[in-house]
Every structure is written in structure tokens, then in C-alpha cells.
Amino acid sequence: MRIFAFHLLNDFSGSPKVLSQLIKGWDINHIDVQVCSSFQNNGFLSGIPPWIKRRIVWYRFYDNKLLRVWALVMSQFLLLVKFFFIVKKEDVIYVNTVLPFGAGLLGKLKGCRVIYHIHETTMKPAALKSFLFGIVKLTADDVVYVSQYLASQEPMPGKQSHVLYNAIPEEFVEKSLRTPRDKTMPQNVLMVCSLKVYKGVFEFVRLAKKLKQYRFRLILNAPLQEIEVFFKGVELPENLEFYPTQRDVIPHYAWADLIMNLSHPDSWVETFGLTIIEGMAFDMPAVVPPVGGITEVVDNGFNGFHVNPHDIDELKKIIQQLFLNARDYARFSENAGVKLNQFREKAFIEGSLRILEKK
């Protein structure tokens, strides 16, 4: 079996991280995989073992929406031209996210088995979403979803559908076990997300203002200059600190006592929650929105809470409840470690191998 794995933008977001885990797992299981992405960008795919073949697919991200659409279309046209005489019928085309639509068309034209790994449901504009998911319906043989929620939101009749929960790398778990933490007096709140309004960054700021006795840390997938421009003119409390894109997040998780996701359900529904399971590796309770695949990661009242991100007073109440009651915090912390077992890497890789082998 030879797999061509396609991903649009190689960066430090969740979807290339998931693909990099799969690639390493396939390689360990002696599967020939070639990785096709924008390697002119630095990201999680840059960390795959050097003996795995990389193929550059041109793509550039633009802030301007029209230029961004142009770059997407151009990159997929170049992809089709570049790989048409490289890919063979017996190869497997693995398309990570719905964005590299040229890879799906390539597989259809060449008669390959096409597997889509879908991470998202929220996408704007609606016309772009309709087009991209239409290509999935046209070209895919198998569709892999990151949660039951996503599978229910984006059904693909006539396709082989699979739910494969994202997993935390074993290396990350091992590092978390080796990292000392003081849990006797919880007081630190962490959120890791993109620099977007709909990710709840301003709600996080408001929470910090209301809970000045605690410390808040926001890690944003953006350079420092962009963060400073984004928050220009916003009054920020002294107990809140910002960090730009971090290659090593271990020290931040070791610092924290509570992990949060405050994405707005009305504009961005989380289909999973990688940062949440990373927090769970450090035995952290979590607070997440009440809808989406992220609710499959956090059981309300067991290892965390489901709270509307717009309800600042309820969020404040939950944080105080956890931090002021040592027995409650210890119970939720222990349960986080129990829940983490559902998202270990071994089961994730074994599940992907069963999909590849059509079992």
C-alpha cells in the first residue's frame, strides 16, 4: 500500500497535528506514505521523520478573502498537474480536511481509493462550504470523522463512514507524567486557541477581569505583532498574559489548573477538542461549550462542565466552585485522567489501520 497524504497549510493548528500522528503511526507499521503539503511553511508536518518523502504543494495564506480563494484554487490546480502522472490507480489518496479538493478530484480521475478525514463543519462563506463538501460527496470512498457530532452534521450517504477520535501523542503523555505540578492551591486558568473573536478570546478577558484573584493565560496561534494589533485599544487586566504561537506547550499546561474552550456555538461549533485532551493529560478539569463534538471529550459534571461561553457569570461561578473546593477539584482532576484513556494514541492508530485495511 502506498498512501499520498494531502494537507493544505502546514502550520501549528490541530488538523496537521492529527495528520502528523497518523503518518508516524503508518510509518511504524511499514506503510509507504508520501506527505504533500505547503512545506514552505513551518508546522507540525515539518516534524515528520526525515526518511518519509515530502512533496511540496504550493499554497499561501492571505488575509484578503478574495486572494485566499484564488490561492486555494491555484494550489489545487497545481496539485492536479503535478501529481497526475505520479499517482497510480493502486495508490490511496488521503485528504486531510475538505480544503485540498484537488486531491479528491485527482483520486477520482485516477481511479484511486479516496479517504477524506473531516475535521470541521463550520465554514464560511456558505458557497465555499457547499462546493468543498460537494467534492467530498463526488470523490470520496471513505469519510473519517473526528466525532459522532460531526458525523451527524455532515452525513455522506453511500460512503463508508468512520468515527476516529483524535488522540494525544504518547510522547506528550510521557512528558506530562515527568513534569512536576503543584495542585494544592488551584488558581491558574489556560486557554489555547486561534486569534479569532468567535474563539471566545474576549470572554476570556472578561473572566480575568471578574476573577482578579486568579491568573489567566491565553496562548494564541498567531505572531505577537498580530496579537498586539488585535487587542489594540482593549483594556486588559494585570492577571492576564498572552503568548504567541508556542512550539512547546508543556510548560504552559504544567502551569495551569483549569483548561478552557470558549468557542461561540452560534458561529463556531467545535467538532473535537485537542487542547482539552492535552489539558486532561495534566489531570486538568475542563470547561467547554454545551454543543459539538467537544462535549464527547468532556462529560458534564464528571471531568468538567458544559457552559455557554456568553454566560460570564456562570463561568465565573464554575471556576470558583472548582478552585475553592479542594475535594471537588481533586475528584474532577482524577476523572480527567480516567477520561483521557479514550483518546490514547495506540487506539487511534489501530483504528486508522482498520480503516485502511477495510476492516
Q: Are residue 133 and residue 198 in the same domain, yes or no?
A: no
- Does the pLDDT value for residue 359 go beyond 70? no
pLDDT at 123: 86
2 contacts 91 by C-beta, under 8 angstroms: yes
CATH classification of the domain holding 236: 3.40.50.2000
Residues 18 and 162 in one domain: yes
- Residue 161's pLDDT band, with cuts at 50, 70 and 90, is very high
Residues near 230 by beta carbon (within 8 Å), at least 6 away in sequence: 195, 222
**Residue among 287, 272, 274, 271 nearest 332 (CA):** 287
Asked if 114 and 204 sit in the same domain, the reply is no
Strand order in the sheet with 142-145: 53-56, 32-37, 2-6, 92-96, 113-118, 142-145, 160-163
- Based on the fold, state whether residues 163 and 237 are members of the same structural domain: no
What is the span of the domain harbouring residue 244? 170-343
Same domain, 62 and 142: yes
DSSP strand E in the chain: where?
2-6, 32-37, 53-56, 92-96, 113-118, 142-145, 160-163, 188-193, 215-220, 240-243, 258-260, 286-288, 304-306
Query: Which residues touch 266 (CB under 8 Å, ≥6 apart)?
Result: none
Using pLDDT thresholds of 50, 70 and 90, give the confidence band for residue 176. Answer: very high
Q: What would the pLDDT profile of 217-246 be if each residue is shown by its tens digit?
A: 999 989 999 999 999 999 999 999 999 999
Summarize the confidence of residues 136-162 as an average pLDDT.
Answer: 96
218 with 321, same domain: the answer is yes
Whole-number average pLDDT of the chain: 95
Model pLDDT for residues 63-87, shown as the tens digit of each residue:
899 999 999 999 999 999 999 999 9
- Residue 144 and residue 189 in one domain: no
Which three three-digit cell numbers place residue 43?
A: 508546522
Q: In a 3-state reduction of DSSP, which class is residue 35?
A: strand
Asked whether residue 120 falls in the same domain as residue 151, the answer is: yes
Q: For the chain, how far is it from start to end, CA to CA, in angstroms?
A: 15
Element (H, E) at 74: helix 65-83
Region 199-216: mean pLDDT is 97
pLDDT (0 to 100) of residue 184? 77
Residue 332 has pLDDT above 80, yes or no: yes
The strand ranges marked E within 267-359 are 286-288, 304-306
b (16+ CB within 10 A) / e for 13-45: bbbbbbbbbbbbbbeeeebebbbbbbbebebbb
Residue 324 φ/ψ, nearest 5 degrees: -95, -5
Q: Clarify whether residues 181 and 138 are in a common domain.
A: no
pLDDT band of 97, cuts 50, 70, 90: very high
Q: How far apart are CA 76 and CA 70, in angstroms?
A: 10
**pLDDT tens digits along 281-325:** 999 999 999 999 999 999 999 999 999 999 999 999 999 999 999
Backbone angles phi, psi at 193, to 5 degrees: -165, 180
Cα–Cα dist 59/241, whole Å: 33
8 and 35 both lie in a single domain = yes
Give yes or no: residues 194 and 234 share one domain: yes
Distance from C-alpha of 206 to C-alpha of 7, rounded to nearest angstrom: 36
Mapping DSSP to helix (H, G, I), strand (E, B) and coil, where does residue 82 land?
A: helix
163 and 267 share one domain: no
| Distance separating alpha carbons of residues 104 and 275, to the nearest angstrom | 29
Query: Is 90 exceeded by the pLDDT of residue 41?
Result: no
Question: Total structural domains in the chain?
Answer: 2
